[in-house]
């Protein structure tokens, strides 16, 4: 276990290299069991090097479909990390989890995470699944993606609201009429809702 971490310490540059982080995580996952990925993911997350932590987060995403401990670690521990870069990788890891088990099968967790009291958990969903309607299931059910994201329009976190608004904007490029119908039902009675509306309707109003 320590050998892989030492390897990462030697090859990862001082500057951020997400491409290399993803390559190393993918290479490890191909040669190891989900159990090994879980154990290594938790171990790497203890590192003081944020890029090594990111490799660990990706490994946890790989193993989360078959190990509830991995999903819980992502939700309860990784979501508390202070680095926005690590939070970006958390979003990737959650999407990997959904992809591995199937987006329709992941719906209960998608909804549970969107209802979390932690902003980073909610954003991991809205950001991780972008572009939502490029994902299986939501490709055939764009109205459900719009409904789930619209529910975040008055989220207390601007971080989450921006993510939801941008994700809705993405969907509107392929499904403008569906998005317009949803937006017309909004009351726009709060500044939070108005903010998300502006982001979501950016290309619809031109």
Q: Give the integer Cα–Cα distance in Å for 16 and 181.
A: 41
Say which CATH topology domain 102-206 has.
1.25.40
Q: Give the integer Cα–Cα distance in Å for 69 and 111.
A: 19
Residue 69 makes CB contacts below 8 A (sequence gap 6+) with 38
Which residue, among 168, 96, 73, 155, has the nearest Cα to 122 in the 3D structure?
155
- Same fold yes or no, 1-101 and 102-206: no
Q: Where are the domains of the chain?
A: 1-101, 102-206
pTM of the model as a whole: 0.95
Q: Give the integer Cα–Cα distance in Å for 48 and 8.
A: 12
Q: Give the integer Cα–Cα distance in Å for 170 and 156.
A: 22
- In the predicted model, what is the mean pLDDT of residues 47-70? 96
**How much is the pLDDT for 15?**
82
Q: Was domain 1-101 assigned CATH 1.10.1240.70?
A: yes
Q: What is the pLDDT of residues 71-115, one digit of tens each?
A: 999 999 999 999 999 999 999 999 999 999 999 999 999 999 999
**How much is the pLDDT for 1?**
66
């Amino acid at each position: 276990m320590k050998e892989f971490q030492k390897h990462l310490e030697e090859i990862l540059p001082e500057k951020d290299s997400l491409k290399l982080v993803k390559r190393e995580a993918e290479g490890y996952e191909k040669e190891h069991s989900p159990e090994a990925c879980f154990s290594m993911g938790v171990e790497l997350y203890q590192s003081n090097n944020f890029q090594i932590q990111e490799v660990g987060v990706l490994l946890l995403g790989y193993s989360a479909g078959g190990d509830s401990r991995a999903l819980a670690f992502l939700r309860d521990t990784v979501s508390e990390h202070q680095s926005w870069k690590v939070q970006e990788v958390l979003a990737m890891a959650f999407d990997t989890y959904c992809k591995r088990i199937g987006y329709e099968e992941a719906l209960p967790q998608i909804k549970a995470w969107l209802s979390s009291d932690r902003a980073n958990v909610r954003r991991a969903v809205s950001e991780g699944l972008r572009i939502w309607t490029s994902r299986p299931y939501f490709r055939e059910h764009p109205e459900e993606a719009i409904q789930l994201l619209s529910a975040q329009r008055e989220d207390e976190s601007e971080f989450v609201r921006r993510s939801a608004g941008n994700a809705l904007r993405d969907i509107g490029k392929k499904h403008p009429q569906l998005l317009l119908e949803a937006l017309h039902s909004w009351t726009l009675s709060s500044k939070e809702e108005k903010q998300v509306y502006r982001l979501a309707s950016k290309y619809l109003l031109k």
